Chain A
Amino acid sequence: MTKNGEVMNVNMLTVQDLRKSFGQFEAVKGVSFSVEKGESFGLLGPNGAGKSTTINMITGLYPPTAGTIQVKDIDVIKNAKQAQKWIGVVPQEIALYQEMSARENLKFWGRMYNLSGKALEKSIDEVLEIIGLTDRSKDKVETFSGGMKRRVNIGAAILHRPDMLIMDEPTVGIDPQSRNHILETVKRLNSEGMTIIYTSHYMEEVEYLCERIGIIDHGELIASGTLKELRETIGDRSRINLTLDSNATDTGKITAALEGLFLEKDLQLQDYLLTAFHKEPQSVLSEIIQRVTKTGARVSSVDIVEPNLESIFLHLTGRSLRD
């Protein structure tokens, strides 16, 4: 790519110390990550974590308060229009003209990306095929179900064959069938070489789609890596959930009773819910129940969860991903 024989920059996106404040409130507090060409990167975080704000800065919509964003070799802050040529954006909300048909919408948005004539028509036909709406293309968007609208919302973002597709919670509030269709579509686009950035608060989606994952909470990227790497942060341990009854008022007494079985940081007790991480949960389970019962509290349910993103998030933040 470069004349001097330097190493070609394979990074599709590089974000460095990105910050955004709305008045006094800092929504994004110094986020850094990079995404390689052809990679699928997931941004996982609960409501209000700062996912959309981060995405909106990467796509050149919001000016960041501080930090840098590079798409390929282009500085997005200085030269947004150039970078936007390569980016397809699927906004969190439906951004379509409801009174126009699916085809008319695609035609309009294609034109906004300077497509025209035969190339535009060809692209529209392909996209309709991809989103599975060829036979409904003449119907107005306002007559569509939520899932169909979401599919058109995606279609409008891929007409110009972007190198990188940025999707902000594209499956919110839709039926499982449409959701599967969307996930398959994203998988297919990624396998065809399109770089994907996918935000969600559904860990299963991110687990299924993304090679690398960033976990964002309160505007900070608290962990990032492959699913395997993230699992290692909790020592690849399963999570034990015990629900206690109303006698379990003295949390100090209970945690003291469990001393020696877990490290302090691996144990949490909140609102009658005891959470602990362990490599071999079966081996300690009876011991836990015994010790807890001795304090006067009673165990009303037991649940063992294999290591997953939910556990990781819980481990890192002490909170559950979905409230």
Chain B
Amino acid sequence: MAFWWLAWKDLLMLVRDKKALLTLVAMPLLLISILGAAFGNMFAEEDAAPIKKFTLGVVNLDDGPLSTALIEEVFQKQLSKGIKIKQFNEEDLHKKIENRSLAVGLIIESDFSSTLLAGNETKVKLLTGPDPGIKDDIVEKVIEQFADSIPIEVMARQAAQPVQADSAGADTPSTQPAQAAPTTTDHPQEQSASQHLIKETTVNAKTKIVSSFQYYAAAMGVMFLLMTVVQGVSNMILEKEQEVYKRLLLSQLTYTNYLIGKMIGLVIICLLQAAIIIVGTKYIFGVDWGASAFGIAIMTAAFVINACGLGVLAGAFVKTEKAFSVAGMFGSQILAALGGSMAPLYIFPDWVVAMTKLLPNGLALQTYLKLMTGASLVNILPAVGGAVGLGVLFFAIGLIRLSIERRGKYA
């Protein structure tokens, strides 16, 4: 029980420290609003901004009215300035993408109109070459908005259904088998032929788009939590150099309980900050964090455990508080940059994005984005498990290292 009181003491001290409290609560909201506003404008202008005209290869297997409307009305008329449409048969389209004469291809399945009209989710297949830039994003969004704009009341009923595609295009089909299955089984030979060259993304017509404000709320939130962890671990190292630490060691508190208490305190502080960021951005700035509040909460907890574990591990190898503060500041900025908090993840190649899942913040951000685009709790459980697992592993290594170090100095 003593470790709870240690955690409680840390919280009490935080509440007393007005400056620390302000940094914890007000700063994130302030910065998110500033950055969000800046990026929000950029994002809004993106549609109007002249993009280099590109050619979209289309295979239309659907004879229904909606595919025709999409191709003729939307792509060929409204977007004629930016996109040139060329129709192909499926085989040719694949060849063009493979030999890179086309960057993006779109295959509209035969049931496109009928399912959409029936109010169900419908899917198209997006083929992209190695370097599509943002072209696939644009096509994707156009299709999504098109599907959204069809006023069929039955769609409302389906709103709660799980949706699969990541609008950022960050996930390869292989990491999301459920999504790949319906489309790829129809064309097994395409899959094998195009494995490393062509990326296939299934665009779900009911996928929501992550706005820049949403993206930055999540990204900045994650970054602030990282910084809080660094601060927390710095304080821990600082306390180790103080007299109260010796008195703690002399009391009935065991060393393991000391570390657990510290970790609990830090996790609670981070969770409070996360709650403030999430609730604050939701109600003040209207950021949509997705439908699964529980998913957000559980992912946040997992991320915080992961990050605190990493913090304790780092802290175990750094002797002085000063050194840790410096290392921690740089470290958290590097993590933030790699994890997508500084520049949008979708400018990175896929393998980089996949790698960043190993970083606490990278994994958290990608999972938040998934939740924002409608993923359910079940979809994110692997990420939650991974984060908690990594955190506990980090913590255990740190604990071993710390007790070896302590044995040299204290009994």
Are A93 and B410 interface neighbours, CB within 8 A?
no
Cα-based distance from A156 to B249 in the complex (angstroms)? 14
Cα-based distance from A15 to B275 in the complex (angstroms)? 54
Are B407 and A61 interface neighbours, CB within 8 A?
no
- B409's nearest neighbour on chain A, judged by CB, is A62
CB-CB under 8 A for A96 and B252, given A63-B407, A112-B5: no
Cα-based distance from A53 to B248 in the complex (angstroms)? 18
Are B243 and A93 interface neighbours, CB within 8 A?
yes
Q: How large is the interface on A (under 10, 10 to 19, 20 to 34, 35 or more residues)?
A: 20 to 34
Within 8 A of A (CB), among B14-71: 16-17
Q: B383 on the interface (CB 8 Å rule)? A: no
Q: A109 on the interface (CB 8 Å rule)? A: yes
Are A111 and B250 interface neighbours, CB within 8 A?
no
Q: A81 on the interface (CB 8 Å rule)? A: yes
Interface of A is mostly: loop
Partner of B244 from A95, A104, A116 at Cβ < 8 Å: A95
Q: A227 on the interface (CB 8 Å rule)? A: no
Q: B352 on the interface (CB 8 Å rule)? A: no
- A78's nearest neighbour on chain B, judged by CB, is B411
Partner of B411 from A63, A89, A96, A109 at Cβ < 8 Å: A63
CB-CB under 8 A for A97 and B9, given A60-B411, A63-B407, A112-B2: yes
Q: B12 on the interface (CB 8 Å rule)? A: yes
Are A108 and B252 interface neighbours, CB within 8 A?
no
Q: B80 on the interface (CB 8 Å rule)? A: no
Are B250 and A61 interface neighbours, CB within 8 A?
yes
Within 8 A of A (CB), among B235-253: 242-244, 246-253
- A99's nearest neighbour on chain B, judged by CB, is B16
Cα-based distance from A97 to B5 in the complex (angstroms)? 14
B228 to chain A, nearest CB (A): 19
Q: B326 on the interface (CB 8 Å rule)? A: no
- B258's nearest neighbour on chain A, judged by CB, is A112
Q: Using Cβ atoms and an 8 Å threshold, which residues of chain A touch B410?
A: 61-63
Are B250 and A60 interface neighbours, CB within 8 A?
yes
B17 to chain A, nearest CB (A): 7
Q: A91 on the interface (CB 8 Å rule)? A: yes
Cα-based distance from A109 to B251 in the complex (angstroms)? 8
Q: Using Cβ atoms and an 8 Å threshold, which residues of chain A touch B12?
A: 100, 104
Q: B115 on the interface (CB 8 Å rule)? A: no
Partner of A61 from B246, B252, B254 at Cβ < 8 Å: B246
Per-position 1/0 for A78-119, Cβ under 8 A of B: 001100110101010111110110001000110111101000
Q: Using Cβ atoms and an 8 Å threshold, which residues of chain A touch B253?
A: 112
Are B252 and A114 interface neighbours, CB within 8 A?
yes
Q: Using Cβ atoms and an 8 Å threshold, which residues of chain B touch A104?
A: 12
Q: Using Cβ atoms and an 8 Å threshold, which residues of chain B touch A100?
A: 9, 12-13, 16
10 extra interface residue pairs, beta carbon distance < 8 Å, beyond A57-B411, A114-B252? A61-B246, A61-B410, A80-B411, A91-B246, A94-B243, A100-B12, A100-B16, A111-B5, A112-B2, A112-B253
List the 3 closest A-B pairs by CB distance, nearest first.
A112-B251, A95-B243, A95-B247
Q: Which residues of chain A have a CB within 8 Å of any CB of chain B?
A: 57, 59-63, 77, 80-81, 84-85, 87, 89, 91, 93-97, 99-100, 104, 108-109, 111-114, 116, 156
29 contacts between A and B (CB under 8 A): A60-B411, A61-B249, A61-B250, A61-B411, A62-B410, A63-B407, A63-B411, A81-B254, A84-B251, A84-B252, A85-B252, A87-B250, A89-B247, A89-B250, A91-B243, A93-B243, A95-B243, A95-B244, A95-B246, A108-B5, A108-B9, A109-B247, A111-B2, A112-B5, A112-B248, A112-B252, A114-B1, A114-B252, A156-B247
